[in-house]
Amino acid sequence: MQRCAIRYWQKKEAMTLDEKLWKEFSKMVRMKHANEYGWVKCFTCSASGPWKEFDCGHFMPRAYLATRYSILNNKPQCVRCNRMEDGQFARFSANLATKYGAKIPRLIIEIAREGQQLTVEEKEWFLSYCKDQIKLLSAKFI
């Protein structure tokens, strides 16, 4: 019985770390793509607005743990494209190919299906990295 309790708490702790990491990673991605006034363009429809009002959309769903925190897989998206139009997968793929090369969407798909998720230690390090980047990126806004 004690063993199950330990695993439950370990899982709970890991979920909390994932939630914290996603929050900071999402913020970092949106800020990274913002101009000096804090505005971003939707990666799929080119709508623009303040980075805080945009989502961090993803090409491969977050369920694919290997690409969940990939900079190439995640881009700013407006709420309409990300939530109401299911991320605009086809347009997202086409824009990735245009911006980074035709092989990139296929590469992201392969990594998503075959790659491994980050360890707890890697997630903790990456969380710290994201927080540091957010501090640096905050300085670029007027």
Could you tell me the sign of the dihedral formed by the alpha carbons of 33, 74, 16, 130, in that order?
negative
- When comparing pLDDT for 36 and 142, which is higher? 36
Contact between 111 and 67 under an 8 Å Cβ cutoff? The reply is yes
In a domain? residue 69: yes
In a domain? residue 71: yes
What are the tens digits of pLDDT across the range 83-121?
Answer: 999 999 999 999 999 999 999 999 999 999 998 989 999
In a domain? residue 19: yes
Q: What is the pLDDT of residue 1?
A: 45
In a domain? residue 3: no
In degrees, to the nearest 5, what angle opens at C-alpha 99 toward C-alphas 98 and 100? 100
Domain that holds residue 59: 12-138
In a domain? residue 5: no
Contact between 120 and 12 under an 8 Å Cβ cutoff? The reply is no
In a domain? residue 7: no
What are the tens digits of pLDDT across the range 70-84?
Answer: 999 999 999 999 999
Strands 55-58 and 74-77 come out as antiparallel
pTM to 2 decimals? Answer: 0.86
Q: What is the pLDDT of residue 103?
A: 98
What are the tens digits of pLDDT across the range 119-129?
Answer: 999 999 999 99
In a domain? residue 1: no
In a domain? residue 6: no
- Comparing CA positions, the residue from 103, 132, 112, 142 lying closest to residue 27 is 132
* Number of domains forming the structure of the chain: 1
Q: What is the pLDDT of residue 7?
A: 58
- When comparing pLDDT for 141 and 12, which is higher? 141
